[in-house]
Amino acid sequence: MKDSTDKIAPLVRQFLIALGEDPDREGLAKTPERVAQSLRFLTAGYSKNLKDEINDAIFETGSNDMVIVRDIEVYSLCEHHMLPFFGRCHIGYIARNKVLGVSKLARIMDVFARRLQIQERLTNQIAEAVRDATGAEGVGVVMECRHLCMMMRGVEKQNSVMTTSSVLGSFRRNAATRAEFMNLVK
């Protein structure tokens, strides 16, 4: 990580100069390094491996019921403007005798959220990863996010919330299953 920080910091310094700032003034003297470290943290998903994040926390169970974790905080960066979007993620799946450790759902989400993203793709990547990790018969993911690229620039709409969903397997095929999931996450 230090290597990429060493590469990013000089670029941030040049960026500050291009904005007309003095990168040597007191308030900005360490900004290039801070921004580089911040960007490395906010994009740490590129260096993460799903298998390592799940860490064998898949457990056999006799249950084939719906499992849902609601209101997982999500933070990501829009790939179009590199501005944050943030909100809540709800993940559900129907186990096929295997369940994930509950924290692993949040970890799966973070692997993909900590990359430059669009919310639509992020929602789908989470659903596919949960399906692939568990062999679930169905998976549903709903995300509700506010996008700073829409709130603080462009159309400047402060109360807008973007909602996306991805449903796979029985959540897609069976309207009653999908409706149960959607009802439980609202």
13 and 34 share one domain = yes
70 and 96 share one domain = yes
- The pLDDT of residue 97: 86
163 close to 153: Cβ distance less than 8 angstroms: no
Q: Which amino acid is present at 28? A: L
115 and 160 share one domain = yes
Distances (CA, A) of 121 to 38, 65, 173: 23, 27, 21
Q: Which amino acid is present at 149? A: C
112 and 178 share one domain = yes
- The pLDDT of residue 114: 98
- The pLDDT of residue 2: 58
Question: Comparing C-alpha atoms, which of 143, 158, 142 is closest to residue 76?
Answer: 143
59-76 burial: b if 16+ Cβ within 10 Å, else e: eeeeeeebbebeebebeb
Q: Which amino acid is present at 144? A: E
6 and 97 share one domain = no
136 close to 96: Cβ distance less than 8 angstroms: yes
Domain count, the chain: 2
The CATH number given to whatever domain includes residue 111 is 3.30.1130.10
DSSP for 59-74, please give it: EE-S--SEEEEEEEEE
- The pLDDT of residue 5: 74
Element (H or E) spanning 24, and its range? none
Running along the chain, 186 residues long, what does each successive block of 10 average in pLDDT? 80 97 97 96 96 92 90 98 98 93 96 98 98 95 97 94 98 96 96
73 and 25 share one domain = no
How far, rounded to the nearest angstrom, does the alpha carbon of residue 3 sit from its chain's CA centroid? Answer: 25
Question: Comparing C-alpha atoms, which of 163, 161, 171, 162 is closest to residue 127?
Answer: 171
120 and 68 share one domain = yes
21 and 71 share one domain = no
Residue 11, φ and ψ in degrees, nearest 5: -70, -40
57 and 14 share one domain = no
- The pLDDT of residue 32: 97
115 close to 46: Cβ distance less than 8 angstroms: yes
SS3 readout for 126-153: HHHHHHHHHCCCEEEEEEEEEEHHHHCC
| Domain encompassing residue 38 | 2-42
8 and 77 share one domain = no
66 and 93 share one domain = yes
- The pLDDT of residue 61: 86
